[in-house]
Amino acid sequence: MSNSLVIVNTGCANISSVKFAFERLGINVDVSDDVKVIAKAQRVLLPGVGSAPAAMSSINKKALASCLRGLTQPTLGVCLGMQLMVTDSQEGEFGKTDLTSSLNLIPGHVKRMQVGNLRLPHMGWNRVTSKLANPLFVGIPDGEHFYFVHSYAIDNYAHTLATCHYSSAKKQSDIGVVPIHANAELVDAGPMSAKPISAKPISAEQLKADIGTTFSAAIHKDNFFGVQFHPERSSDAGAQLLKNFIQL
């Protein structure tokens, strides 16, 4: 059990793909909902597919919450698993506006992504940029693509480890302006900046719609790490991140 890893069986997640990803790295994985097994593991992975209320209700039904809150070993939340790590989520039961209370391992709030005319879910490969040097992203250059599938996100905030920017795939020159953005280096994407700025007038609404949003691709506090993307489906970069996690 020198390098043991337990995937928490939350009861509603597709666990196979993340299990297989560790197996490709030669790591043996246990899948368990037994609090004794989870508490003793050297590392814990909180997977996530499904909705926040369904996942929290399953976690509560299995009486896993206090065990998860008491973990001191490196723990990685993936996608919904990451979203369950913060305080609460706007993702409620269908037709209800109540917040879903989550595990509160890291302060923070999950909100519906505000993307104007952009498509949701935010589905596909997008670039991730680390905010500071950290062990989870060792060997992964800034701007590497990871695979995302989600409609809710955590803002870029104090516990953000890495960010992702979701904007229109159309060239910014098409909308007639060079956008001003908090993360200017993310927006300045090569060829588009060389295009002449057209004099076409643009509405504030369209501008907002096309600039998009910057959100947390990864978060961290103490022993808890969360990633919004799916490292198990993110090719070589994802494999590197999982390798980094098992070396924490």
Partner 1 sequence: MLAKRIIPCLDVKDGVVVKGVKFRNHEIIGDIVPLAKRYAQAGADELVFYDITASSDQRVVEKSWVTKIAQVIDIPFCVAGGIKSVKDAGKILEMGADKISINSPALSNPKLIKDLHDTFGQQCVVIGIDSFFNEETGQYEVYQFTGDETRTQKTAWQTIDWVKEVQSLGAGEIVLNCMNRDGVRTGYDIAQLAAVRAVCKVPLIASGGAGEMQHFADVYNQADVDGALAASVFHKAIIDIPELKAWLSIQGIEMRS
User: Taking the complex as a whole, how short is the minimal distance between the CB of residue 235 and partner 1, in angstroms?
Assistant: 5
> Which member of 79, 91, 144, 159 is catalytic?
79
Q: Site residues for partner 1, window 44-73 (CB under 8 A)?
A: 49-51
Q: Does 138 bind partner 1 (CB under 8 A)?
A: no
- Pick from 182, 234, 190: nearest CA to 212: 182
Token code pair at residue 192: 């588009």
Q: Does 14 bind partner 1 (CB under 8 A)?
A: yes
Q: Does 184 bind partner 1 (CB under 8 A)?
A: no
Query: Residue 87: left if φ>0, alpha if ψ -120 to 50, beta else—which one?
Result: alpha
The alpha carbon torsion through 46, 47, 52, 58 (nearest 10 deg) reads -70
Instruction: Pick one of 62, 109, 111, 127: the residue that binds partner 1 (CB under 8 A).
Output: 127
Q: Does 209 bind partner 1 (CB under 8 A)?
A: no
Q: Does 189 bind partner 1 (CB under 8 A)?
A: yes
Q: Is 232 a catalytic residue?
A: yes
Q: Is 230 a catalytic residue?
A: yes
> Which member of 122, 150, 220, 232 is catalytic?
232
- In this structure, how many other beta carbons lie within 10 angstroms of the beta carbon of residue 205? 10
Contact 215, 153 (CB under 8 A): yes
Token code pair at residue 142: 């800034």
Contact 197, 173 (CB under 8 A): yes
Annotated catalytic sites, by residue?
A: 79, 230, 232
Contact footprint for partner 1 (CB under 8 A):
14, 16-17, 20-21, 23-24, 49-51, 94, 119-127, 145, 147-151, 165-171, 189, 191-192, 230, 232-236, 238-239
